[in-house]
Amino acid sequence: LAVALAAAPAAARRQVAALLGHGTASDPGSRAALALKVFGSTLVLQALRRYWLTLRHAGLRGLVVSAFSAALRVAIRLPGVRGVVDREVGKELASIERKMHGGGDPAARCRLPEDGMDTSSIVQLVKDMQAKELAASNKFDGKQWGGIYHSPRGPLVELQNAVWGMYNSTNTLYEGVFPSVRKFEAELVSWVLHLVNGDPKVAGGILSSGGTESVLLAALAYRELGRQRGIATPRIIAANTCHPA
């Protein structure tokens, strides 16, 4: 807008200048000064609109939090402050990395070995690593957070291992070659549809690799549904406590 105004005829600039209080109709001022004032006014209006929308959707408390966050972002960019913040963040990240990864793994195989290992050695190596993980988990009485919601031992795991072993070399993209895999997926999707009172005639689904992909696919499905309904710029309304996935 500012660039267009600067290139506009003198008569148009005089009218805009009079509206903005920049000179008079007979004194339009310089093009650069007028363009700068329009540009600044546009930024102010955009900021006011943003804070109004925040007040409308998040209330007074949300507006205060948003203003404080904006002020904090500006403050940490100040000379001297940014360096302090970066150093403290670096210390915290290094502490988290040491806690999660320890001091390194001297036995790590970072290159493809020239001589392979025999089957029994590989199985024993994996068992030793798993035993350390289970021992660490037992310190927390099996309540350590890890995204697994059942015991690593028992009939359920035995059933899973048996079925996974049978279908280790299959691919869901080739349902003509592996029709049983397609059958499993279709039946599981149908179960979920009935659990949530979905209509199998118009609703569907797929199996995903995990929770994060499921969230992304759900957001994609709603976005496409919104586009069919004429929603060009959809928004996701979520609580501050929602899952970060």
- The answer to whether the beta carbons of residues 38 and 2 sit under 8 Å apart is yes
Residue of 237, 236, 234, 175 lying closest to 207 (CA atoms): 175
User: How confident is the prediction along the chain (245 residues), in pLDDT tens digits per residue?
Assistant: 444 544 555 555 555 555 555 544 444 455 667 667 777 778 888 888 888 888 888 788 888 888 888 888 888 888 888 888 888 889 999 888 888 787 778 888 888 888 889 999 999 999 998 888 878 777 666 666 667 777 777 899 999 999 999 999 999 889 899 999 999 999 999 999 999 998 888 888 888 888 889 889 989 999 999 999 998 888 888 887 887 76
For every residue of 180-215, DSSP letters joined together read HHHHHHHHHHHHHHHHTT--TTT------SSHHHHH
The answer to pTM > 0.75 is: no
In whole angstroms, what is the distance from residue 142 CA to residue 135 CA? Answer: 10
In whole angstroms, what is the distance from residue 12 CA to residue 5 CA? Answer: 8
Sequence-distant (≥ 6) Cβ neighbours of residue 205 within 8 angstroms = 189, 192, 193
In whole angstroms, what is the distance from residue 204 CA to residue 200 CA? Answer: 6
| Cα 165 to Cα 45, 121, 137, 161, 187, distances in angstroms | 62, 20, 26, 6, 21
- The answer to whether the beta carbons of residues 120 and 127 sit under 8 Å apart is no
Here the tokens at position 3 are 């660039």
| Long-range Cβ contacts of 179-184 (<8 Å, 24+ apart) | none
